[in-house]
Structure 1
């Protein structure tokens, strides 16, 4: 018995030792692979060391081929080569539209609204008691007498006559109360009082006071509100290059804080205006004329043979579906006939993926090893129905934006979101994408395979949403399938990829452009809606 027990103990010790050796081997292998890639991977060296991109491809969007004068012949008629700043009246109207939109937002997004637009919003009852403040809760949530908080501003709440909301739900007061017309407002000091005109009796009694915070953005900054709104008329020559792109880019922001030529408002007659909504993958390009919306505009107007179509680049880096919903009033202010949505990576990696980290916290150290996470990534994620449920929850904000446009007669078009095809990647390309994921997106527990899988489920949700709304869905992901010849990282494209994406979208928009403005059809004839590339 003693000998048998000794043999069992010896076997256990040997197994433990070999397991330890195996784990150490995997650890050292993972570390060696990581360190080796930093030194030997040409894509990592090009991206983070300033070298040339290892792959080249001919493209019409080559900056060296850009003929600005020729391209400007085909810009939309609702754009201006000369500055046309918004008038004080237009700025007022845009702010009033924002305040109306605020009242209809879900409670969590009201906080986002206040943070992004840099305003303090006070909600008061019909007696002037402050019940809530956005973006932060008040210390006394049961209500504070108006006279004890911002007495000068909140006093205006008490002066709105009962029942006034039934006739004119929006009141704007001059802060000095000098007897100027009621629509005169100085945004740096003014207050906007809004009494909801619909909903329950308690909602009708709620008034909202908007007080700008007067927080000036840093000097020489692109941002008016970081990752939400850009500073009008900002210029930057040779900013840091985008992934896979050379130096020499140029950024110019227009009158409404977008990367495009100035937008003429109101929209001229007989103009079809297309608004491209997205994030950095819509904003990207080495020149304003080398973005995908600008090239779509060029292709469509040249195809028609006359300047009839505006395609406005409304891409802002860092945007996700929730922030697009908050910004809805700004989009409507531009008077679009067609809206194109191209977004996905920020929703997947900054919203969906973090909700799944509970599954990843246990094996955190194990999954930080590349050899392990390449094998185990699917095992540690939730099952497919759970993933799809989380994605549908995130996409509810996008659906609400689309429904808002459709209710106003604006044609909505979705695009599936493209990424480098894993089946077309070399080992060196995959190693680079793993490094991008670790350094810039999901942390060291996430793998590129996990991202690509989650994105495929996100695209499935987009196609299902487009079907439910009767809206077209352009198969960009299925058409722009390449490795790092077209892509610069897990989602951003190089010039050849931007050109390909623009051509796919322009071809799909042709039948819709022919029916607008003023007679935009909801039909999606000519555009595949099931994710296939068509014939």
Structure 2
């Protein structure tokens, strides 16, 4: 649904007067876009291949060059050889030895499917497609895949919200990257994407700030690649999409969605019988909220397996591509300086958005502090750059936050300034004439 329950509630104010209907740059052709994803698919392990299929909600069948048969959960008796012989493959521009084909709609064995794609590479052959969508629902939604991928060139009627030619909330992106451009891609969830207007998101503010310093020698582009609700495992699966933007530097800021949409539900749905019984008491919930969290060793183990396993994959993959990575920790309001009314407000929005009566802002604080400490230790061991946003925001008034993680315009600008200072101090911009 649209409105306050939409993920862009803080990301797009209403438009007064006439709306802009310009289309802008054409999207990257689906054949090229899917080819990059397919090349990535052949490189990941079997567990991530299954994750890839689940995240994109696609039926996927493939065989490696060493295999005779397709992996085919859809229909073991389906004649893939006959299907492939009927398809008209074409060479993919810029990809030597790769042939592929793409159909927005395709009649597969008497069943109409969408986004049908097939490819032949030196690694093997692959077929994927999506089940037929309800057309009316698909047209009214901004999502290509909910909380994973926006449609390209989408306009939200009545709001200052649009996606660009590559499906992110930003200006259109020129690919191939023009000469003299240093391109930064900011990856994350709604805390990356957020802002009343496109110009008031932290990536766009950061772009302006960096061009004030470096604009005489090169042009800095900072692409807002934030997707509301996305988690680290989905960021890993979408990595080929981000790399298609040809970044010189990547900023990754995520963890909130993993905590609130994966860990909270995991733990609260598996409460021991005693805790489940005690949870019926509002008094216990109010005064002892941390009682409902699992032991610290379980928290650390789950964060390691659910969050840091994918951070490790992302950082390693970028390192192999020689693309520098900046991580940020998670800022949160300083609860120690809140008055009663502020605490009541943050408690209300926490329970409204993130899981009901058992979820408490003090739980969130403990988990974010645990994650931030874990991230500091992990990034130091991995020799990765880390911006400690939380250190700065703990000195700020809670009033710059909309809720436990989303920021008002002043807080968004502060984030851009902190990251700007870090980039300049570490000399991470390399301009070539």
The TM-score bracket by the shorter chain reads 0.7 to 0.9
For residues 473 and 106 of structure 1, do their structure 2 counterparts lie closer, same or farther at Cα, with a shift above 3 Å needed?
Answer: same
Contact kept in structure 2, 1:422 and 1:430, CA below 8 Å = yes
- Give 1:169 shift: 7.2
Equivalence for 1:315: 226
1:381 to 288, 293, 300: 293
For residues 173 and 237 of structure 1, do their structure 2 counterparts lie closer, same or farther at Cα, with a shift above 3 Å needed?
Answer: closer
- Give 1:511 shift: 4.0
Equivalence for 1:341: 252
2:284 to 372, 395, 399: 372
3-state SS in 2 of match to 1:209: strand
1:153 to 2:92 alignment: no
Contact kept in structure 2, 1:146 and 1:154, CA below 8 Å = no
C-alpha distance in 2, partners of 1:154/1:119? Answer: 18
Equivalence for 2:58: 119
Equivalence for 1:408: 321
Contact kept in structure 2, 1:378 and 1:450, CA below 8 Å = yes
1:432 to 2:345 alignment: yes
1:84 to 2:4 alignment: no
Equivalence for 1:446: 359
Deviations 1:497-534 (A, max 9, x none): 11111111111112456542579xxxxxxxxxxxxxxx
3-state SS in 2 of match to 1:275: strand
- Give 1:214 shift: 5.2
Alpha-carbon RMSD: 3.1
C-alpha distance in 1, partners of 2:325/2:102? Answer: 39
Deviations 1:7-28 (A, max 9, x none): xxxxxxxxxxxxxxxxxxxxxx
Contact kept in structure 1, 2:329 and 2:386, CA below 8 Å = yes
Equivalence for 2:37: 98
Equivalence for 1:352: 263
C-alpha distance in 2, partners of 1:376/1:189? Answer: 50
3-state SS in 2 of match to 1:219: helix
- Give 1:415 shift: 0.4
Equivalence for 1:479: 392
Equivalence for 1:331: 242
- Give 1:479 shift: 0.7
C-alpha distance in 2, partners of 1:220/1:484? Answer: 36
Contact kept in structure 2, 1:130 and 1:146, CA below 8 Å = no
TM-score normalised by length of structure 2:
0.81
Contact kept in structure 1, 2:118 and 2:125, CA below 8 Å = no
Contact kept in structure 1, 2:334 and 2:393, CA below 8 Å = no
Q: Which structure 2 residues correspond to residues 208-287 of structure 1 after superposition, within 5 A?
A: 208-213=126-131, 215=133, 216=135, 218-236=138-156, 238-239=158-159, 250-287=160-197
For residues 87 and 428 of structure 1, do their structure 2 counterparts lie closer, same or farther at Cα, with a shift above 3 Å needed?
Answer: closer
Equivalence for 2:376: 463
C-alpha distance in 1, partners of 2:139/2:23? Answer: 24
Equivalence for 1:490: 404
C-alpha distance in 2, partners of 1:378/1:219? Answer: 43
C-alpha distance in 1, partners of 2:251/2:227? Answer: 14
Segments of structure 1 that go 5 or more residues without pairing to the other structure are 1-46, 49-62, 64-80, 160-166, 176-186, 198-205, 240-249, 520-535
Contact kept in structure 1, 2:41 and 2:49, CA below 8 Å = yes
3-state SS in 2 of match to 1:341: strand
Number of matched pairs:
393
Segments of structure 2 that go 5 or more residues without pairing to the other structure are 6-12, 14-21, 90-94, 104-112
- Give 1:196 shift: 6.6
Contact kept in structure 2, 1:434 and 1:447, CA below 8 Å = yes
- Give 1:224 shift: 1.8
- Give 1:124 shift: 4.5
3-state SS in 2 of match to 1:451: helix
- Give 1:168 shift: 7.2
3-state SS in 1 of match to 2:243: helix
Equivalence for 2:100: 172
Contact kept in structure 2, 1:103 and 1:196, CA below 8 Å = no
1:193 to 2:119 alignment: yes
Deviations 1:374-424 (A, max 9, x none): 433333423223211211112211221121111111110000111112112
Which 10-residue stretch deviates more, 491-500 or 424-433? 424-433
TM-score normalised by length of structure 1:
0.67
For residues 370 and 508 of structure 1, do their structure 2 counterparts lie closer, same or farther at Cα, with a shift above 3 Å needed?
Answer: farther
For residues 146 and 237 of structure 1, do their structure 2 counterparts lie closer, same or farther at Cα, with a shift above 3 Å needed?
Answer: closer
Contact kept in structure 2, 1:124 and 1:132, CA below 8 Å = no
3-state SS in 1 of match to 2:144: strand
C-alpha distance in 2, partners of 1:95/1:106? Answer: 19
Contact kept in structure 1, 2:34 and 2:117, CA below 8 Å = no
1:131 to 2:131 alignment: no
3-state SS in 2 of match to 1:235: coil
Deviations 1:262-320 (A, max 9, x none): 11111112211111100011111000000011111111111334462110000010101
